[in-house]
Structure 1
Amino acid sequence: MKAPTGRYETIRTGEEEYRAFVPDPLPPPAALITSTELTAATERAALALGRLDGAAHVLPNTDLLLYSCVRKEAVLSSQIEGTQSTLSDLLVHELGATPDVPLDDIAETSNYVVAVNMAFEQMASPTGLPLCNRLLRDAHAIVLRSGRGAEKLPGDFRTSQNWIGGSRPGTARFVPPPPHLLGESMSRLESFLHDSTDGFPALVRSGLAHVQFETIHPFLDGNGRIGRMLIVLALHNAGVLRTPLLYVSLHFKRHRHQYYELLDGVRQHGDWEQWLLFFMDAVTVAADDATDAARRLRTTFDADRARFHDLGRLSGSTAHIHDALTARPVLDIATAAELAGFAVTTATHALERLCAMGIAQELTGQRRNRLFAYTEYLDILSEGTEPL
């Protein structure tokens, strides 16, 4: 019989009385998460991740897919929190230009990219941090270092009560653990992340850890973004995902109402299986989407490069600038020249040539500080990243 996955603590303040939820330690009883249907869904997700790992090598440079996937996840995860920035906005911002969206929106998205790269670098370094609470706090410090929420204790667990929905804890839809129990809850989650002897597949453990983190809600702000980042960090820690190629927030964004309902279903009714089935679908869809994108990009690159043979002596410089655009689908002339090792004039002519061929597009309409986009490449990457 299903039951809540934790206990309620009654908190009395001078103003009101409310109940805060304290989750039970992970993992839940095996009987709740070992159905045949879930086993099959987990196997499908694992196979999809395997295909994605192989797809990275379809491209001429394996870093190309990593560059785009990290940024796509950053955009999607931030959009779930209400930002309006797009993938194109992020790439423009990274060149030092000003996109046509609120600065706080783009700062949040850009910070996510820096944070997830930092976390993977730490975990890969012999002297770096493992997957632990300290690493999550460091990532949080980067995510909230600028933009909205910068005043809400970046890098520190909260020392006051937060809540979800409503204007105060007494009217909230959900109240996470009180501050005096927060440390114990996060220590138990950290122990679960380090101990893989329970026999559950890495994908199941990642899905469990995400729910637990979101239930604890350890920060005053930014819990959703760090909680979704934890998914790829946990999969990497288990050796299932070598690089952060997975933009699982794509599925969460498309089905965000169901996403939140299922998280509540775990807390209130112990319905782990329905959540994990949804989670496995999210992993499968995201992995298949990224795999398909890699193959489409390779087809696009090859078709466009085949057109350069008709350019005669100009084919070489055009191909090199095309290579620069495959590395950075939005760039300025100076960056293109630097990546290709050309003079600015040579890079300018090659970019204009690519525009004339319909491969690239100038974005600003200005004579100075022009930006160029690899149109079809950006279209493929941007699928699903329209603001809510």
Structure 2
Amino acid sequence: MFCYVLSIVFLLWLVYVYTTFPRYPQSMPLRERFIFYISEIVTVPTFWKLALDNIGLISLPHLCRFFASSPPIRLILPHGRPENRTLGGVSVTIFRPPASNRDADHRPRGVVYLHGGGWYLGSIYSHGAVAAQVAVKAKAVVVFVNYRLSPEHIFPAAVDDCFDVTEAVVQQADELGIDPNRISTLGDSSGGGLVLSVALRRRAERLRPLRAQILVFPILQCVYFGFSSYSNDRTVLITKQMVTMAASLYVAGDLRLLEPLANGRVLSRNTAEELLNRRWELGLSEDQLARHSLDAPPSEFESALLDPSLLPLAAKSMHGFSPTLVITSSLDVLQSEAELLAKRIRKAGGHVEEKSYEAPHSFFNYVGPYVGVDAAANAVDEIAAFLERNS
């Protein structure tokens, strides 16, 4: 009986494989499609189970270890172990390039790395290999920020930690062996949004801009889901529901905002018009605005949802930024808002470069031996080249 049930389950799994694989580009190597597919069938149902159970354990390190797609860091950085210490009152892990990669005449550049994971997942176990690769390829001292995660620590805890570490790196550059004039920030997914949030806060406090900033498929907002990339049936690995779940956990510490965010009903009518049509220049009609706004008084979380420290795409101005690299994925629901960011920075007179890869969200994590994919390796090379040109 058990074998019979197991056979049925296996047949259903094969059917799912057959119907799922065509969503990935046929030009993508079969091995890479299989890697992304396994990640999808493991992570998506588990994320939703955690959401439905509404438990407060989703930021435990062992979960990140379970989902870790990265190979052991020692396979990428064999010449030395990363250093754990505290900067700005926050735990960090520091990756240094091998001695053979260092310029004997200059101190290496510094990169503050803000990992992704929807503000509630992610750690050295899931993103450490990326940090190690950047250290090697960009010849940089990479400071990996172990910022506080939701739902135990809600907004603005993550932004505060990332800002404090960035400022500590600037102030303690000599001690860290970093060139103080060559410090940049790098972040993927929610970490990409945090990179921009840090830049906005530094601008507000009239601090000197950093040398460069790099955003990889960033989460920049969660109040409007009418962007074309959200209706792209080729998107995989991350969904609108996963974005709204992460935002609700980060803002409210629970799932009370899940339904309002998913329905696009968290903004007052005037705020919707100001944000969507004036700042983002989406040109929505009155009927379209009505579908994305409330006639009743605004949500109690509206001010937080529009705070540039949380959703940096809502910032009134995009002027005064250091050179920016925006990396997107053509199979990602977040692509359109990242492209809008690049457009706004360019319109404000800033220097911005864009690079898109035909790969799903989170492809950046798949670096190194065993689970490495071409898009991730190329993205790291692109980052290293951008830093070489700009820092």
Indicate whether the TM-score tops 0.5: no
Q: Which has a greater percent of strand? A: 2
Structure number with greater CO (CA < 8 Å, separation at least 6) is: 1
Q: Which has a greater percent of helix? A: 1
